[in-house]
Amino acid sequence: MKKVILLALAAVMTFGASAQKLKGSDTVLPLAQKEAESYSVVNKSSNVSVTGGGSGVGISALMDGSTDIAMASRKIKLDEKMKLQESGNTVIEKVIAKDALAVIVNPNNKVSQLTREQLEQIFTGKITNWKEVGGADLKIVVYSRETSSGTYEFFKESILKNKNYMASVLSMPATGAIIQSVGQTPGAIGYVGLAYLTPSVKALKVSYDGKTYIEPSFANSKNGTYPVVRPLFFYYTKKNEAKVKPFIDYVMSKDGQKIVGEVGYIDVL
């Protein structure tokens, strides 16, 4: 009996010490990092590494086996799912939190609110000067995430109604780069996850009905009044489930979901 217990303990220690890799969405990145830090306090022998790069990068890494969990701010595409299945992998999807997408401008911009239609026209290049939407006579400089980003795709779907971004849009490799660029450029506009907001930029109120303008905040996102909200995902393979389940269970626990709110996202409990 004693031998069985010792073997079981050895197995737990070996499992706990096994390295887990998370890769993908820059939106999910700060949350996953915080969850990993907290998890390591509870599980001393854990070794969880977290890197960004974009949702598409994370899912590609899941395909080639270089990550255990793909972090994504958009749903996995059918062709990505099919490629995983063709290689003998069944993919599992887990919604770990929700996120509000904030439209940001330079703090000195007098414009404080825009309709979805106005945003669509700005990001597709139909509106090119801030005076057209009640602002100063100043050229609009449009910043976006690059095409591998789930945030890029969600914004295109929700705000642009799947219309193409303007050809001269300035694509940024990471959310932090958008924050920095918009904060330094008087006529700039961009979009970031709610958790990334800093005093160096100003978040706009958004209206989908042309009447009610809602501020992007945790409370408004949680109660459903702010319209630009999306789920955030972990993707992993069925064959890897036993390895990643303890960490995912922690993220979905009461303590893990408390961290979701602390980081600035919306819990799913």
pLDDT of residue 128: 98
pLDDT at 6: 37
Residue 217 corresponds to which tokens in the numbers above? 């905040």
* pTM of structure: 0.79
Tell me if domain 2-98+232-263 and domain 99-222 are identical in fold. Answer: yes
Q: Which residues contact 176 (CB under 8 A, 6 or more apart)?
A: 26, 196
Are the beta carbons of 25 and 146 closer than 8 angstroms?
no
Write down the CATH number for the domain with range 2-98+232-263.
Answer: 3.40.190.10
Q: Which residues of the chain have pLDDT under 50?
A: 1-17
pLDDT of residue 44: 87
Domain ranges for the chain: 2-98+232-263, 99-222
Nearest alpha-carbon partner for 97 in 226, 213, 219, 266: 266
Q: Which residues of 44-53 are buried (b: 16+ CB within 10 A; e: fewer)?
A: eebebebbbb
Q: What residues does 128 pair with on adjacent strands?
A: none
Question: Over the stretch 114-134, which tens digit does the pLDDT of each residue have?
Answer: 999 999 999 999 999 999 999
**Per CATH, domain 99-222 is 1.20.120.1200:** no
Task: Give the pLDDT confidence of 15-33 residue by residue, as tens digits.
Answer: 344 689 999 999 899 999 9
Alpha-helical runs (H) found in the chain: 2-17, 29-42, 55-64, 78-86, 116-123, 150-158, 175-184, 218-222, 241-252, 254-263
